């Protein structure tokens, strides 16, 4: 199906510049297929052994890519009162929430602006894939996390990842996107054969953003996109591309010549 419009050349994402920081909400499918062993964590990283021991599967591969994202974002940490970047007393400008979902959502991290990357990943490792899936329940919980932990200085960003398909929660996506101008990414991990739902969800968010007004709205930009990552290497790069686009300065290129990331502004 058409993905909100045809890409032209290298896609570009320029994130709204009037809001400085983010509340980044990761929404990760943990249905039974995420226990598949066809994709596993990246080797030769500080958490590789831990992931292989506990979740040597697709879910572990996602955590491996997420680890790279979080490490990339660590440049946004704020020095403590002594002028150093401490481990125990460090705060971030951005906050993270993480929920996994099957037919029901499970919140693992809530509005966290202080944990280290390693601590965040450790909070996620214990989740076990299994069961069915409900995109609607996951979107509703993401909205609840954003509204409950609202901060005027933080623009909400939702990164929604699945390796499968589900009925499209159109009204839920519209409701979520209408809270405020929202950066909304959907990522299909694996073949695009079952990615239609994720494509439609990104298009809905793209449409709502394009017609919205309010703080964080940039007239010439639209930070809503569908992305496909065939394998772990592409997934890790996709997360890094998103991370780089969110770092200051706020305007950034994101994408590649093969249009792996399909973005239109």
The DSSP string of 4-43 is SS---SS-EEE--SS--EEEEEEEEE-SGGGG-SSS-PPS
Give tens-digit pLDDT for 87-137: 444 566 899 999 999 999 999 999 999 999 999 999 999 887 777 889 999
Cα separation, 31 vs 35, whole angstroms: 8
The residues near 228 (Cβ < 8 Å, ≥ 6 apart) are 187, 188, 192, 195, 234, 260
Q: Identify the band that residue 22 occupies on the pLDDT scale cut at 50, 70 and 90.
A: very high
Mean pLDDT of 30-58: 89
pTM for this one? Answer: 0.82
Cα separation, 178 vs 190, whole angstroms: 29
Cα separation, 89 vs 158, whole angstroms: 27
Sketch out the chain's domains with CATH numbers.
12-77+89-258 (3.40.50.410)
β-bridge partners, 77: 92
Q: What's the pLDDT at 129?
A: 74
139-143, 169-173, 184-188, range with the lowest pLDDT = 169-173
Q: What's the pLDDT at 255?
A: 36
The runs of H, that is alpha helices, within 109-220 are 117-125, 135-148, 170-177, 196-210
Single out the residue of 8, 10, 258, 33 nearest to residue 162, CA to CA: 33
Residue % of the chain over a pLDDT of 90: 52
Pick left, alpha or beta for residue 249 (phi over 0 → left; psi -120 to 50 → alpha; otherwise beta). beta
Residue % of the chain over a pLDDT of 70: 76
Chain-wide mean pLDDT for the chain?
80
Single out the residue of 42, 49, 66, 52 nearest to residue 123, CA to CA: 66
β-bridge partners, 154: 21
Give tens-digit pLDDT for 198-214: 999 999 999 999 887 65
């Amino acid at each position: 199906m058409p993905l909100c419009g045809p890409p032209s050349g290298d896609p570009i994402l320029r994130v709204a510049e009037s809001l400085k920081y983010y509340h980044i909400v990761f929404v990760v499918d943990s249905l039974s297929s995420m226990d598949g062993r066809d994709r596993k964590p990246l080797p030769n990283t500080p958490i590789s052994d831990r992931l292989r021991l506990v979740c040597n599967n697709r879910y572990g591969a996602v955590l491996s890519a997420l680890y790279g994202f979080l490490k990339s974002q660590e440049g946004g940490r704020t020095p403590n009162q002594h002028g150093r970047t401490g481990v125990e007393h460090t705060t971030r400008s951005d906050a993270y929430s993480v929920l996994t979902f099957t037919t029901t959502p499970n919140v693992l991290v809530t509005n966290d602006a202080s944990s280290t990357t390693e601590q965040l990943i450790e909070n996620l490792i214990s989740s076990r894939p299994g069961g069915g899936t409900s995109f609607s329940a996951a979107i509703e919980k993401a909205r609840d996390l954003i509204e409950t932990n609202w901060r005027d200085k933080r623009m909400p960003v939702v990164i929604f990842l699945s390796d499968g398909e589900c009925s499209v929660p159109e009204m839920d996506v519209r409701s979520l996107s209408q809270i405020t101008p929202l950066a909304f990414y959907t990522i299909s991990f694996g073949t695009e054969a079952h990615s239609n739902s994720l494509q439609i969800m990104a298009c809905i968010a793209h449409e709502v953003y394009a017609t919205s007004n309010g703080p964080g709205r940039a007239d010439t930009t639209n930070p809503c996109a569908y992305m496909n990552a065939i394998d772990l290497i592409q997934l890790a790069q996709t997360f890094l591309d998103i991370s780089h686009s969110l770092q200051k300065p706020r305007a950034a290129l994101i994408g590649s010549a093969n249009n792996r990331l399909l973005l239109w502004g």
